[in-house]
Structure 1
Amino acid sequence: MKVLWLGHNIGYPPKGGALQRNYNLIREVASQCELHLLAFDQPVTRPEHITPEDCVAALSKFCASVDWVPLRQSSVLRTRYGIAIQGLVSREPYDFLWLRSEEMARKLRKAVKEFAPDVVHFDALGLAQYHPLVGQAGTVLTHHDVESSKIAVRATKTANPVLRRYFELESSKLVSAEQMWCPRFGANVVVSEGEGAVLAGACPGLEIRVVPNGVDTSYFTPRLDPGGNTILFCGSMDMHPNQEAMEYFLQKIWPRLIAQSPDVKLCVAGRNPPDWLVQLGRSDSRICITGFVDDVRPYFQKAAVCICPILSGGGTRLKILDSLAMGVPVVATSFAASGLSLRHDKHLLLANSEDEFARAILELLGDQALRVRLSRAGADRVHEVYSWAVVAKALIEAYEFTARNQAIAG
């Protein structure tokens, strides 16, 4: 089977969220299909020392071809803020304006003509605008989260009335876009049953396939319990849900922790931390803010506990799966763990108030037997259900279904 993967990011380096998912699924699919990758390059998703050419070289080890288009921001109107302002007077959502490119359209037409793919994989709702360019190929649209729902929730949590109204309008535009574009695809891919139910509610009658997030179990392998008192949060710190989580944790939970355990330490590992977080790390010796790291595994190896105090956003949290694969016990909100087939007190600890969260961390720091029990059960679970080799089978089945139906339709 020939697959043309149209990406909103190039999928390399695989550090964080959608980048991890895309890289690993591309690699797994390419081991079984002829996969051609055409994607936008977003400089913000890679460190400065890694060039687009480096990304192409890495991905060409398993892809049949790799091509990319710069996500241009050469003028004020092409910056994120400029596009957001344009969005105020446009009927289209932000992502459709952000991902609009004549160069991408030209390269996509060329790729479809040259490779004659059986299936074109669209990796974000904002890319659906290119659907008319792929001819008779089968099409699959991935939703890393249901964007209309994610933005609607963000609106309810935004105190600023102007921003709240902006998010309300954006959510309404996204619902319209989902209803317009999603039915045109042979299959819509979501990361959990819950996300599928949300999408089906907005767009009844869709063919919806669940392809969960996963973990590279050959890369993230269980470590020995290091003991100690270090807690770890991993995540791209230019993403709103991660910033919100750290604000919540540091304002509401951290004071409770240090009141009972003054020597506890916090490490926050992830690209582009905001200035306020960097300054906090400089002023408090117990808090380490790393910024981008090439390899997060040494931080997992030193951590006694990983935390995931996520309160909003969409999709499912790869950071939980990575932590469990490394054998690091996790404390998470129920929201953070939603969509994952994990059980409280068997695979991780769930905590939904400030006091519960602090108590769960302190309990783990003080109980090695509990840490070991959760570590073993969590690692076993992700190996069984969430290895990328297992996850990719569901995506390939969606491709086969779509290609078969398209062939019947002629």
Structure 2
Amino acid sequence: MGEILFLAHRIPFPPDRGDKIRSHNVLKALARLAPVHVGCFADDAADHGCEAELAALSASHLLLARTKSLPVAGLESLATGRPLSLTAFHDRRMANWVEQVLRARPIDTIFVFSGQVAQYVPQSFRGRLIVDLVDVDSAKFEAYGAAGRGFRSWMERREGRLLRAEEARIARRADVTLLVSKAEAALFAARLGDSACAVEPMGNGLDSALFDPAKAVPEPRMAAIDGPRLIFTGQMDYAPNVAAVERAIARILPLVRRRLPAASLHVVGRNPPASLMAHHGHGGVHIWGRVEDIRPWIAAADMALVPLEIARGVQNKVLEAMAMGLPTVLSPGAATGIEAEDGRDFLVAESDAALAEAVIALAGDSARAQAMGHNAREWIGAHASWGAALADLPRLIALKSESMSDAA
């Protein structure tokens, strides 16, 4: 049995945001199959603080600080004609380390997590290449570009076009390309238009024992605010999350508060921009920012509201709310890839008015809300474990292994 080289655009620790949760669990699963050498990047000091955990899980590793600013990466992208997403993560030290590992170790599989780091796979590598794109990033940037205006819109449309070509290159080079859901895999395959490329879904999972409402004490500051309390969680410097919260603040919450004046919206997640912070304390809006543990905040909420308009892949924020037994109102995009039953396990609505009505209906029917939360947690336990999500990894990397049904 050979060894595995795992490349990621972010260190898979701590597993406290969507991409890190997925990469963390994939890395743990791979480490049970063979020795894994990990090359990845750190965004900040907190990431560097997790290097000991990375070292304990890997046979060897390289963790590089990502110091290239967005303006510098943008200028480099314009000068080279490459996607900004690639230039932002281009570092010769990583390329040198990859070459060194391939020379020194019996690597027969490279697992690439996220398209930004596929650039480090040498053309000379003849082993198995698995690429987990997670989402169709090119489609996301195309949507940004279509919704925006001016120079930023031009850059986003350019990024979408260049990434689409890069995604096609990656898929033709890889033995298999993974996407986070059947819908995302179908979209990628249709855009690729090349039946010779192997494209498969590999879903997200969730540790329902960790996200157990019986073990979470509601956050007292949030619980002290009169209800109904709506919550939105996520990385708050991520454009689709910002747009969803802006929609909730400007268009959905006011409709809810006409009927339920005490209703409040609680936004929990790191790096909220100034445009969102300006709403804190006004009109029932509370922007809490980064927290150490999201579970007490979910436990303090009465329901989750996830009105994403641009959504790619499976939303961990939805899985977490469902696992915590929280009734969840969400847009069709936010429900993509989660094959739960609308009306039973969560409520899906598209327009602002329909989303507001769904919130009002659940707030006024505690028995229905409680039953929906119970059903949601039951669905997570039956359908969304990491063991089930990653059960195909041994087949994908062509290594024999014992069952991974006990994957965390």
- Decide: shared fold, TM above 0.5: yes
- Equivalent position SS for 1:369: helix
Question: How far off is 1:117 after superposition?
Answer: 2.1
Question: How far off is 1:161 after superposition?
Answer: 3.2
**What are the within-5 Å matches in structure 2 for residues 366-405 of structure 1?**
366-400=364-398
Letter in 2 for 1:128: A
| Residue 176 (structure 1) aligns with | 165
| Residue 406 (structure 2) aligns with | none
- Equivalent position SS for 1:107: helix
**What are the within-5 Å matches in structure 2 for residues 324-339 of structure 1?**
324-339=322-337
Question: How far off is 1:375 after superposition?
Answer: 1.4
- Equivalent position SS for 2:210: coil
| Residue 102 (structure 1) aligns with | 92
Q: Write the distance in 1 (CA, Å) between the matches of 2:209 and 2:271.
A: 27
Letter in 2 for 1:104: M
**What are the within-5 Å matches in structure 2 for residues 68-83 of structure 1?**
68-73=63-68, 79-83=69-73
Q: Does 1:63 align with 2:58?
A: yes
CA deviations over 1:15-69 (Å, ceiling 9, x no partner): 11101111122223323433222111122xxxx5x351x2122234433333312
Contact 2:249/2:285, CA 8 A, preserved across alignment = no
Contact 1:230/1:303, CA 8 A, preserved across alignment = yes
Contact 1:109/1:133, CA 8 A, preserved across alignment = no
Letter in 1 for 2:5: L
Contact 1:245/1:311, CA 8 A, preserved across alignment = yes
Q: Does 1:42 align with 2:33?
A: no
Question: How far off is 1:260 after superposition?
Answer: 1.0
CA deviations over 1:204-229 (Å, ceiling 9, x no partner): 12111211122122211244998941
Q: Does 1:216 align with 2:217?
A: no
Q: Write the distance in 2 (CA, Å) between the matches of 1:149 and 1:386.
A: 26
Q: Write the distance in 2 (CA, Å) between the matches of 1:172 and 1:357.
A: 33
**What are the within-5 Å matches in structure 2 for residues 7-406 of structure 1?**
7-43=8-44, 48=45, 50=46, 52=48, 54-73=49-68, 79-132=69-122, 135-158=125-148, 160-203=149-192, 204=194, 205-223=196-214, 228-284=227-283, 286-400=284-398
- Equivalent position SS for 1:272: coil
Q: TM-score, normalised by structure 2?
A: 0.90
Q: Write the distance in 2 (CA, Å) between the matches of 1:134 and 1:109.
A: 10
Contact 2:208/2:385, CA 8 A, preserved across alignment = yes
Structure 1 unaligned residues grouped into runs of 5+ = 74-78, 403-410
Q: Write the distance in 2 (CA, Å) between the matches of 1:28 and 1:383.
A: 19
Contact 2:12/2:20, CA 8 A, preserved across alignment = yes
Q: Write the distance in 2 (CA, Å) between the matches of 1:131 and 1:92.
A: 16
Contact 1:120/1:134, CA 8 A, preserved across alignment = no
Contact 1:9/1:41, CA 8 A, preserved across alignment = yes
Question: How far off is 1:283 after superposition?
Answer: 4.1
Letter in 1 for 2:185: G
Question: How far off is 1:179 after superposition?
Answer: 2.1
Q: Write the distance in 1 (CA, Å) between the matches of 2:262 and 2:124.
A: 58
Q: How has the CA–CA distance of structure 1 residues 366 and 28 changed in structure 2, closer, same or farther, with 3 Å as cutoff? A: farther
Question: How far off is 1:296 after superposition?
Answer: 0.4
Contact 1:229/1:365, CA 8 A, preserved across alignment = yes
Q: TM-score, normalised by structure 1?
A: 0.89
- Equivalent position SS for 1:323: helix
Count residues with an aligned counterpart: 390
Letter in 2 for 1:64: A
Q: Write the distance in 2 (CA, Å) between the matches of 1:321 and 1:106.
A: 39
Q: Write the distance in 2 (CA, Å) between the matches of 1:315 and 1:81.
A: 28
Greater Cα offset, 199-208 or 230-239: 199-208
Letter in 1 for 2:352: E
Q: Write the distance in 2 (CA, Å) between the matches of 1:224 and 1:121.
A: 35
| Residue 406 (structure 1) aligns with | none
Letter in 1 for 2:93: E
Letter in 2 for 1:28: A
Q: Write the distance in 2 (CA, Å) between the matches of 1:33 and 1:346.
A: 41
- Equivalent position SS for 1:139: strand
Q: Write the distance in 2 (CA, Å) between the matches of 1:140 and 1:333.
A: 32
Greater Cα offset, 141-150 or 111-120: 111-120
Greater Cα offset, 91-100 or 107-116: 107-116
Contact 1:27/1:63, CA 8 A, preserved across alignment = no
Letter in 1 for 2:201: V
CA deviations over 1:167-201 (Å, ceiling 9, x no partner): 22221111221222321111101111111122212
Question: How far off is 1:401 after superposition?
Answer: 7.6
Question: How far off is 1:355 after superposition?
Answer: 1.0
Contact 1:244/1:311, CA 8 A, preserved across alignment = yes
Tell me the percent identity: 25
Q: Write the distance in 1 (CA, Å) between the matches of 2:131 and 2:47.
A: 28
Letter in 2 for 1:143: L
Q: Write the distance in 2 (CA, Å) between the matches of 1:16 and 1:334.
A: 21
Question: How far off is 1:288 after superposition?
Answer: 2.1
Q: Write the distance in 2 (CA, Å) between the matches of 1:259 and 1:396.
A: 54
